[in-house]
Structure 1
Amino acid sequence: MATLLNVFGTLGKLLTPSPAYTDYEYDGLEYRWTIFVFRPALFKTEAWVTLAVVIYVLGWYIGKSINGKVANSWYDAHADILAAQFSKPTNGGLTQDGYSDFFNFSTGRRVVASLHTVFALRPRHDPFQVIYQFLYGLYDFTYSPSDIVTLDFKLHPTTSAPEGVFAVVRKEELKTIKRERWDLTFTKTTDHKALSPTLSVMSEFADISENLFKEYGTFSLIKTLNDPKTLPYFISLSITDQPAERPTLPLLPEEREKHVIVKFSVPSGSQVEDTKEFVTSLFQLVDIVGVKLGNGLRPDTKNKMRKIREDLDKQLKTEATKEQKEEADDAKRVAKRRQEEERVSRLSAAEQQKIIERDRKRAMRKAQKVVRK
């Protein structure tokens, strides 16, 4: 019994934490309550850590709240346009994905199969990213992060929208958009005398530009793009029949899509309604692209665009076949090497040593030939 008590006593000593260090010469601020004593000066590190956590959480909360307000304010100001244009606009408002991405899906309109409204806002919920963007802006004066909304109109497959790629882009965005959009590699970049000098035209054929810049009744794309009310927010407008990323295989007929994609900065505060007229006019543009544009293009332009796409499909098919052949050859080489390794592993140690020596001499001869060349 005594031995058992000694064992428990020893375990108790091992499990008992060491007494807290107490500086009896402490003469700072001190709070006492019965047997409890709190000395703030002994918890400076903990105080700073707690303050940092509080600041981070507060910044996260304020940032996500601002982003939600920015996205919902713009959507609420333009919701009546969507409701008038679509039989099935998303009445539940925006769907949130994280704290800086919001989107909305609308469908049920002639010419348009669907409209994706996508917000990509600044990461205000993450103070570290905000600081990084600020510091990088001091390094690169062309870097100007902003809140962006993208309207992606997917045209209905039954429309007569022609093949072709066309875009109008703010000049300072040219470098970025060329890097991000493979479909725009089909185009040539030029200026247009009727457009603002801040904008550039990217068009596959001049015939496409000429037809899009014509006036159709009350609609004029040039006037819409030059509107001083929306020009400060405009980033890009593109009409395309090609994907943003280069495909690895020729697209099947059901995979081919035609889009009108518009990107602009989100107005803030009292300016949130400045883009309402612009957004309304986009539906006129979509109707023109889906119904009238193809009729205005010259037959030789259509033939050239069709030939370019046929050549692209042939190139993609050739590259895919070549890649498949290389993968098959690699698989054969791996299988052959594995079989050889299994055969060698069944040989005696002396025979294995001979094979190793033979391979070493072959490698040396190859190296010597490379050096002589």
Structure 2
Amino acid sequence: MSGLLQNIFKGDPNAPSAAPSSGDDADPASASTPGAAGTPQSATRGALPAAADHARPYTAWYRVWERHSRQDFVQEAFVIPFIACLLLLHVWGMGKNRRKAKKWAQAHLPILQSEFAVVGYGGVGARRAPSADNVQAEGLPAAAASADLVVPESVLKEKTGTEFATYATGRQNVAFLDVSIKLFRWYNPLYMLGDSVISMFLDSWPVPVERVQCTAYAFDGKERDLVPAPSAVEKELIEQRTKGANNSSYDGFVFAVVHKNCMRRLREDRYDISLTFTKDNPKLPEWATVMSESAEITELMLTADLIKAIEEAGEDFEYLIITDQPLDKPTKIDETTPGKRINLSLCLPKSNSYSSTLPIFTYFLRLTDRVVSTAHFRAEVVRKLRNTRDEEVRKLRRAHDEEKNEERKALVEKTKKEERDRLLRGMSAEEQRKYLEKERERETRRGMKKSVKRG
């Protein structure tokens, strides 16, 4: 643009200049010698053909191939394939995670639909799974491997590219079930590599693992508050089912069977596990241990079926926790309200065959029934459990009272300071001096009394 304006206002630099004026009005100093005048002209004439050789020929706007060459697109030749590879890798990674989550749902949908009335976020699935009797007759592996099993889109919800979730409800003693499937970032291998490398050097950085985490929330005798009853007849029916022997409440406690590789992380991350003590059990494999609040609870909950299911799951088993305490340490008294639930965490098998983990998953779904029927302990055990929880409540109440006292003291000090400032503003300079001297004397006497008491 600057060159264009220069050409408009100053003319063409290659155009011949006007001949110098001759005569009396000519300036002798401005006249150049004949030899000097010829030198720039010859140089200009010699430069014109070279400039013309390098100039691009004028072509029509659509004749791009005549104005550009392959050398002009060297940068794009590297950038475009790189972006294409990233897009293909992202599509492949997302598809791999979706297929893996769908494979898990296909393997576990029969047992879920046989235990719960509603599975997923859209009601009953496209194909109803066989009844509980048929599942027991055919076996879970055969039912899960059936080719005609259709997994509805509403069964799984894709929260992120690495996390899928499902939901189930409509079962006695279980309010609802949450399942979370966490997978690798196959669509971002650099992130996966960074996670793996950092976890090798930092103990605080968890090792990336593909796992499924399930949480079953117990009714604990609150069916009337949690189950919607459209009519009075259904409401009365719910009340009758929750009375007497059908009552779903049980004593709150914390019990866990944990893989030893997860023991330290659970004790540091979960408040409820910190209330337990760890003790190896000879009935369990060497890589598993028990974390419980009482030996009587361990003897009652550690059944032969549970031990067999854990042995079949093998290294894919991480933990099974029965708890009534929050995950994070409560900071307020309201947060100590018990929420009874059962947690199960399993690593996804690398072979994509769930025959080894299906027994422990099935036991987990039916564990609430056993807890409701047997978790009614002796008075001594209940007293011990209650004392542990009451002690935590007392600590919170003590901390709350101390915080209130500090706030009260700060308010009193603030009121005294405002009153002192108000008095000083209404005094003359001499009165202020006397008032401050008396104040210093009182502080001195108070300090002397404290030192005498200490001595």
TM-score bin (small chain)? 0.7 to 0.9
Matched, 1:166 2:228: no
Distance 1:321 1:268 in 2: 53
Which residue in 1 is equivalent to 2:330?
A: 247
Q: 1:102 aligns with which of 147, 164, 188?
A: 164
Question: Which has the larger share of strand?
Answer: 1
The answer to whether the 8 A contact 1:187-1:204 is kept is: yes
Instruction: Give the drift of 1:344.
Output: 11
Matched, 1:225 2:310: yes
Which residue in 2 is equivalent to 1:59?
A: 89
Instruction: Give the drift of 1:191.
Output: 1.0
CA deviation string 1:20-45 (max 9, x = no partner): xxx959xxxxxx94664443334433
- 2:326 maps to a residue whose letter is P
The answer to whether the 8 A contact 2:306-2:360 is kept is: no
Percent identity, please: 24
- 1:119 maps to a residue whose letter is I
Distance 2:270 2:182 in 1: 17
Distance 1:283 1:143 in 2: 28
The answer to whether the 8 A contact 2:257-2:288 is kept is: yes
Q: 2:288 aligns with which of 191, 196, 199?
A: 199
Which residue in 2 is equivalent to 1:359?
A: none
Which residue in 2 is equivalent to 1:290?
A: 372
Q: For structure 1, list consecutive stretches of 5 or more residues without a partner in the other structure.
A: 1-7, 14-22, 26-31, 346-373
Distance 1:57 1:312 in 2: 53
Distance 1:49 1:213 in 2: 59
Matches within 5 A, 1:256-271: 256-271=338-353
Q: 1:85 aligns with which of 101, 109, 115?
A: 115
CA deviation string 1:262-299 (max 9, x = no partner): 000122454134322221122332211122222xx332
Q: Which has the higher contact order (CA 8 A, sep 6+)?
A: 1
The answer to whether the 8 A contact 1:115-1:154 is kept is: yes
The answer to whether the 8 A contact 1:89-1:107 is kept is: yes
Matched, 1:311 2:400: no
Distance 1:126 1:342 in 2: 67
Alignment CA distance shift 1:9-1:157 (3 Å): farther
- 1:239 maps to a residue whose letter is I
The answer to whether the 8 A contact 2:119-2:155 is kept is: no
- 1:174 maps to a residue whose letter is M
The answer to whether the 8 A contact 1:74-1:273 is kept is: no
Q: For structure 2, list consecutive stretches of 5 or more residues without a partner in the other structure.
A: 10-52, 56-61, 126-153, 222-247, 426-455
Which residue in 2 is equivalent to 1:147?
A: 210
- 2:216 maps to a residue whose letter is F
Distance 1:66 1:340 in 2: 73
Matched, 1:71 2:71: no
Alignment CA distance shift 1:35-1:106 (3 Å): closer
Instruction: Give the drift of 1:64.
Output: 1.5
Which residue in 2 is equivalent to 1:29?
A: none
- 2:310 maps to a residue whose letter is L
Distance 1:232 1:94 in 2: 26
Q: 1:237 aligns with which of 312, 320, 326?
A: 320
Give the match's secondary structure for 1:232. Answer: helix
- 2:193 maps to a residue whose letter is I
CA deviation string 1:134-189 (max 9, x = no partner): 32355469964211101101111212322111111111111221222111000111
- 2:209 maps to a residue whose letter is S
- 1:173 maps to a residue whose letter is C
Give the paired residue count.
315
The answer to whether the 8 A contact 2:167-2:176 is kept is: yes
- 1:55 maps to a residue whose letter is C
Instruction: Give the drift of 1:249.
Output: 1.5
Instruction: Give the drift of 1:51.
Output: 3.1
Pairwise CA RMSD? 3.6
Which residue in 2 is equivalent to 1:134?
A: 196
- Choose 1 or 2 for highest CA Rg: 2
The answer to whether the 8 A contact 1:155-1:290 is kept is: no
Give the match's secondary structure for 1:239. Answer: strand
The answer to whether the 8 A contact 2:219-2:249 is kept is: no
Give the match's secondary structure for 2:362. Answer: helix
Distance 1:57 1:335 in 2: 66
TM-score (norm 1): 0.74
Distance 1:77 1:195 in 2: 27
Alignment CA distance shift 1:116-1:339 (3 Å): farther
User: Which has the higher mean CA deviation after the structures are superposed, 157-166 or 239-248?
Assistant: 157-166
Alignment CA distance shift 1:339-1:133 (3 Å): farther
Distance 2:416 2:110 in 1: 67
Instruction: Give the drift of 1:213.
Output: 1.8
- 2:97 maps to a residue whose letter is N
Distance 2:423 2:88 in 1: 67
Distance 1:341 1:38 in 2: 83
- 2:389 maps to a residue whose letter is R
Q: 1:41 aligns with which of 59, 71, 95?
A: 71
Which residue in 2 is equivalent to 1:281?
A: 363
Which residue in 2 is equivalent to 1:112?
A: 174
Distance 1:245 1:334 in 2: 36
Distance 1:280 1:187 in 2: 26
Alignment CA distance shift 1:331-1:270 (3 Å): same
- 1:197 maps to a residue whose letter is E
Give the match's secondary structure for 1:182. Answer: coil
TM-score (norm 2): 0.61
